[in-house]
Chains A and B, each alone.
Chain A
């Protein structure tokens, strides 16, 4: 966590700059070809994940006593952004250390922390995160995945969609609901007031099934739908206690948005660099095409928008790390919105700058098109963010 007043949002500390360089150097050793080959052949970027884990980059936000780096989401955004900026982002950073690591650090029991955090920190264990449902989207109050108490156990039933990386994960952190009484009601469900609760579900738990969802994304992390059919879990599968309410969930959602923003900024920087390199060297008549303002100005705009989004991402991370959850919530939403929009625009402009080459497999820029659009939809859609800002920031009436 940042402590020095100058070491805040506008000025990066020496450590942060050194971390950027080190992570970028590691990423460059693997590079975009490594990433794209894995994505196109059904492979994974395990070697990069392992190496980054050994160097302590994956667990920078996990407390030191559990094997992490003892810093915050600020440092984790640096890791993700820099890997993305060299063309090999690790999407599961958003999920495993950022969401699951934050939730378990802040709301897990001591036993849960000891069991999970060291592995999440060094990357030897991976935890996915399932919230979205076919009929509820990400609206935590409408989730139909419900846990009922049976003796000391929990029995979880429901469905999830668009869960990243389940095939590689040891477990999935599932957002379900329990009866408001703390789960005592054996018939929690119809009629009973339910509140969100998070469960760690091992991938091999009986009754837990996962199926890949074919996507148009060019990414090594695949998407899954989950079927939970009376999945029996021990009492300690529940993170925190049943009365913890929305706290554990929100502890995960802010880091998710902030990291999603870092993912988009990294992708945008990568696309912009590729476009600029091309525009500087591609010569058709007398001058490189980058000398023409029709090519240069849109790229300059992308550069400005990315930098603004990056600044907002840093602010959100700073507030989160400083313990200001409410302040971080608004900033995280704005950062995620701005970064996704900047990335969509930059990737689009990069593809256009490269002309036909922008759509070729060789240049690998067209491969970013769907990924950049995905960030406009997930983890929370552009429109839901606009709803939030309209209502909470501007004070406009609630629309739904």
Chain B
């Protein structure tokens, strides 16, 4: 099934076909390491970032990898965009060491506690500032797991949104993705500029080479705050959030698994179990 994406975000394009390299921006988020135990700060119920190791959101690593592959195929260039505190510089550097060309870091104390709505507003403003032909990002972050930002961002920028991509192809003018669905995949095509969110099936992220690691520090990283983006501090952060955390409880211990005893129907039961969780 081919679903044409109807929106045209041409206004943001900085490129005429064939004249300039395709400009790809990857939005990345720094999240607590999924391996470490996370905690909320009692005073404002936001994540205690000091208590955990911070890493690049795993799904965004796939987006960076895809951006690099697309740039290698089309002769484009890759900019990394990160909104987050100072320590986010580590995540930016990781993306640069993988091969991204430059980075934009939006840092502002007022951003603490931003929800998806605010995050999308800040990223949209930053994207307008740098210009792009293609925006890539992971389909969700491993901490909040709302999966809302890609759609909100596309909406704010008036871009066609091609979400849950497991395969991406572009000729520099149009972009076609395989969009993962419960029943298989759709093939979705749009004109650039566009926004694509990716799933982990799409590729295998590379490890940074030693040369990439040594080169990362020399690559340009531009830092912007809210005033650079002409955003009001009251619209973002905890102050501007549309949602708030009232309370939290520790996750209950994992329930016992389901035992399937094979009395002639074991295979069927296993398939039914897996299908019920959309694993097959």
Contact = CB atoms under 8 A, between A and B. Distances in A.
A69 B216 CA distance: 14
A57 interface: yes
Interface of B is mostly: helix
Contacts of B73: none
A232 B97 CA distance: 47
Interface residues of B, number: 13
Contacts of B217: 14-15
A15 B207 contact: no
Contacts, number: 41
B94 interface: yes
Interface of A is mostly: helix
B211 interface: yes
B93 interface: yes
Interface in B125-178: none
A21 B35 CA distance: 14
Interface centre among B90, B208, B209, B216 (most CB of A within 10 A): B208
A235 interface: no
A275 interface: no
Interface centre among B94, B207, B209, B211 (most CB of A within 10 A): B207
B214 interface: yes
B207 A25 contact: yes
Interface in A38-76: 51, 54-57, 59-60, 69-71, 75
A60 B97 CA distance: 15
A14 B93 contact: yes
B207 A18 contact: no
A19 interface: yes
B93 A18 contact: yes
B71 interface: no
A21 B212 CA distance: 13
Contact of B216 (A18, A57, A75): A18
A315 to B, nearest CB: 22
Contacts of B211: 56, 69
B60 to A, nearest CB: 15
Interface string B199-232: 0000000011111011011000000000000000
12 contacts: A14-B93, A15-B216, A18-B90, A18-B97, A19-B210, A21-B94, A22-B213, A26-B207, A51-B207, A55-B208, A57-B210, A69-B210
Given A18-B97, A55-B209, 9 more contacts: A15-B217, A18-B93, A22-B97, A54-B209, A55-B207, A56-B209, A69-B210, A70-B214, A71-B214
Interface of A: 14-15, 18-19, 21-22, 25-26, 51, 54-57, 59-60, 69-71, 75
